[in-house]
Amino acid sequence: MKKLNNKVAIVTGAGAGMGKAITLLFMQEGCKVIAADINAARLVDLVKEASDLKEYLTTVVADMSIEADIEKMTALAISTYGTLDILVNNAGVMDQFAPVGELDNLTWEKVMAVNVDGPFKAMRSALKIFLPKSSGVIINISSIGGLQGARAGAAYTTSKHALIGLTKNTGYMYATLGIRCNAIAPGAVNTSIRETIDFTKISSLVNERIMPGMVLNPRSGEPNEIAKAALFLATDDASFVNGTVLTVDGGWIAY
Whether 138 is in a domain gets the answer yes
**According to the model, what pLDDT value does residue 34 have?**
98
CB atoms within 10 A of CB 188: 18
Whether 71 is in a domain gets the answer yes
Whether 253 is in a domain gets the answer no
Alpha helices for 50-146 (secondary structure H) = 67-81, 105-112, 118-133
Whether 185 is in a domain gets the answer yes
Q: Which of 156, 172, 174, 255 is catalytic?
A: 156
- Size of the chain, expressed as the number of residues it contains: 255
The confidence band for 196, taking pLDDT boundaries of 50, 70 and 90, is: low
Q: Domain total for the chain?
A: 1
- The answer to whether 174 is a known catalytic residue is no
**According to the model, what pLDDT value does residue 212 have?**
83
Q: What is the mean pLDDT of the chain?
A: 95
The confidence band for 153, taking pLDDT boundaries of 50, 70 and 90, is: very high
By the 10 Å C-beta count (0-12 exposed, 13-18 middle, 19+ buried), 255 is classed as exposed
In CATH, what number is assigned to the domain containing residue 105? 3.40.50.720
Q: What are 1-41's pLDDT values in tens digits?
A: 899 999 999 999 999 999 999 999 999 999 999 999 999 99
The boundaries of the domain holding residue 202 are 8-247
Longest dimension (CA), the chain: 54
8-state DSSP, 189: B
Q: Please name the residues in contact with 137: beta carbons below 8 A apart, sequence gap of 6 or more.
A: 85, 86, 87, 179, 180, 181, 233, 234
Whether 255 is in a domain gets the answer no
Q: What are 95-141's pLDDT values in tens digits?
A: 989 999 999 999 999 999 999 999 999 999 999 999 999 999 999 99
CB atoms within 10 A of CB 147: 18
Q: What are 76-99's pLDDT values in tens digits?
A: 999 999 999 999 999 999 998 999
